[in-house]
Amino acid sequence: MELRARLIVEGFITGLHKSPYHGFSVEFAEHRPYNPGDELRHVDWKVYAKTDRHYVKQYEEETNLRHYVVLDTSPSMRYRHAAGLTKLEYGSYLAAALHFLMMKQHDATGLIAFDDKVHTLMPPKSTQSYLRQLLTRLQDLSHAEPGERRTAAAAVLDQVAERIARRSLVVLITDLFENVAAHDDLLKALRHLRHRGHEVLVFHVLESETERNFRFPDVPMRFRDMETGEEITLQPAQLREHYQEAVQLFSETFRRRCLEQNVDFVELDTGQPYDKALLAYLNKRKRLA
């Protein structure tokens, strides 16, 4: 898990410097331009020798931000189909990369994992030894046997809002496979987090080929709900168009309602790299710096 997190982050940073985003780097957490009045003893002369510009070293107390990565581990997150990873594995590796990146920026980071209730709560810290504890826990979660508990993100986020005392950035990783009737409750829970002064970033993780586009073979197939066990038999071609329209409407509606509450909403595909997610995080982090 540690090796994968490191490779994801270092590969992303390398690509970032070669991209149109050149100059937008994670080093902003370690240095800032010199301003008149800053003490000269804080100027980084090694950086000056390389860049011919004056930068001031920033210390952890100047930049520290508290993070909580909130990971959905419910049975529906075990879905894989054609992707190389299950949604839970993909989400766990994303969480690991975020923890690694947050530590690189000297931020305190913690982990909350849930299904129908919170079963993992690791408060934010900013030490390397704690990073290893976080990654070990994510490793265990990604390979744990699936339980029978359903997703209950709304209730969990309400608990999270009450438990987190200090202003934090809450990053939610989930497939949003909650009862349709509970989506309003989930949006209320996100609003609850915002009301408590927290910043929120939602990563909606799906296996796009089938879960967004319903591209299954056009033969009669039996589908089973991974959380309720309910089954239905149908021919995918008869439902595909209506399914795609329903998913698109849901995504657009959920994104719009998140934006109304100043909650960032990002769709992710388990078959794609993590760059989109990490860039969304860095953009969010930069706005809060």
Give the model confidence (pLDDT) of 153-204 as tens digits: 888 999 999 889 889 999 999 999 876 667 889 999 999 999 999 999 999 9
Structure tokens at 289: 């710096």
Tally of CB atoms within 10 A around 235:
13
φ and ψ of 227, to 5 deg: -110, -30
Q: Which residues of the chain have pLDDT under 70?
A: 17-32, 37, 57-64, 146-149, 179-181, 289
Tally of CB atoms within 10 A around 23:
8
What's the pLDDT at 60? 40
SS3 category, 285: helix
Query: What residues form DSSP beta bridges with 169?
Result: 67, 199
Residue 274: which of 186, 205, 217 has the closest Cα? 205
Reported as a single tens digit per residue, the pLDDT across 60-87 is: 434 468 999 999 999 899 998 877 899 9
Domains of the chain and CATH, by start: 61-288 (3.40.50.410)
Structure tokens at 151: 């997703």
